[in-house]
Amino acid sequence: MKNWIRKSLVVLFTLATFGLVAPPSALTVNKQAPDANYAPEAEEKKLLLHRDSQDQSAIEQPNIVDQFLFEAEKQSFEKFGKKISGVIEDEFRNLVLPQMEEVIKTFLETEKEKFADLAISQKPANGKGEKIFHIYDRMSGKDLIRFHVRVDHPPKQGYWFDFHYHTYHDHFQTHYALGKIYWDTNTPPNWMQ
């Protein structure tokens, strides 16, 4: 395989897995034609250097918890859109985001042994939909924890954004509160506007 193709595949593989999975060794090991000057000791030294560089890159990869926290914040602001973000950004960062981060950290610490490959969804619901993002098991495709926001309108109290989450433990029945943010007496715009 040509060297530039191999390098391109390594980059694509790394981007597709967010750098959480090392590319297959078939792509990273340089296969060359047998050489008349072949020395097994030199080959062994090359393999050790290659293994050391892989270990070093694994250390430099972002922590999975940090990656999930980054994605959670990104998906939240994508969900809000420009119109809502401009109004509730500070309150969200101070009130809801720390709660969300704590839930994600606890969930990942307690569930990582049960599930081999966790991922975070990339498509928040627009319009009136509640979904911000879900954390799911990539192997089965099943959701494990769902983070939502609902627009509440209690009588004579204006509009509120109710942030909450659900877990697979009770089949997503219970609403676990993360916080509420007041909008206004006027109807808020649709999500992602």
Burial of 126 (0-12, 13-18, 19+ CB in 10 A): middle
**Across 73-90, average pLDDT:** 95
| Residue 3: predicted pLDDT | 66
CA 62 – CA 46 distance, rounded (Å): 26
- pLDDT confidence band for 103 (50 / 70 / 90): very high
- Between 27 and 82, where is the model more confident? 82
| Residue 15: predicted pLDDT | 66
Angle in degrees, 0-180, between the axes of helices 97-111 and 64-91, rounded to the nearest 10: 160
Domain ranges of the chain: 3-60, 64-184
Contact 137, 115 (CB under 8 A): yes
| Residue 150: predicted pLDDT | 96
Pairing of strands 131-137, 143-152: antiparallel
CA 94 – CA 81 distance, rounded (Å): 18
| Residue 47: predicted pLDDT | 43
* 46-64 confidence digits (pLDDT tens): 444 444 444 444 444 458 8
Regarding pTM above 0.75, the answer is no
Answer yes or no: is pLDDT of 104 > 80.
yes
| Residue 110: predicted pLDDT | 87
| Residue 109: predicted pLDDT | 86
- Provide the mean pLDDT of the chain: 80
* 126-178 confidence digits (pLDDT tens): 999 999 999 999 888 999 999 999 999 999 999 999 999 999 999 999 999 99
Tokens (6 digits) for 68: 């999930």
Burial of 135 (0-12, 13-18, 19+ CB in 10 A): buried
Report the chain's terminal Cα–Cα distance, integer Å: 46
Residues 6+ apart with CB under 8 A from 121: 75, 131, 133, 134, 135, 136
150 beta partners: 162
